[in-house]
Amino acid sequence: MSEFTTIPNHVKFKAKKLFGEVGRIIDGSIAYIDLEGGGPVEQHTHEHDHLFIVTQGAAKILLGDEEIVLKKDEAFLVKGSIPHATWNISDGETVMIGISVKQEK
């Protein structure tokens, strides 16, 4: 993951690249995940991918037998063909943006 940097010709402005080209955006949503919340209970698959961005708290992404932890200001692209689910692992509410992405062929 990149670090926050000051962009040339900007003042009191720091940015961090979260992702590059990932495919065609289908839709986007924001989720407020309560303490110990998440889901779905059973991991699932589908045709599109998810680009998850955590803006508050921390989330655990179950990705088959693997676990990925995303903290505030981090992003991860989940391949929809791999069984997955997301869970809040912070001490409070986690806020996460989810962008559904169709891979271009």
- Write out pLDDT tens, residues 14-61: 898 888 888 899 999 999 999 999 999 999 999 999 999 999 999 999
% residues pLDDT > 90 (the chain): 76
pLDDT, position 96: 97
- Cα–Cα distance, 66 to 50 (Å, whole number): 16
pTM of the model as a whole: 0.86
64-86 mean pLDDT: 96
- Cα–Cα distance, 32 to 68 (Å, whole number): 19
Please, are residues 86 and 96 in contact by the beta-carbon 8 Å criterion? yes
Side chain identity at 27, as an amino acid letter? D
Cα atoms in the Cβ-side hemisphere of radius 13 Å centred on 19: 19
pLDDT band at 105; cut points 50, 70, 90: low
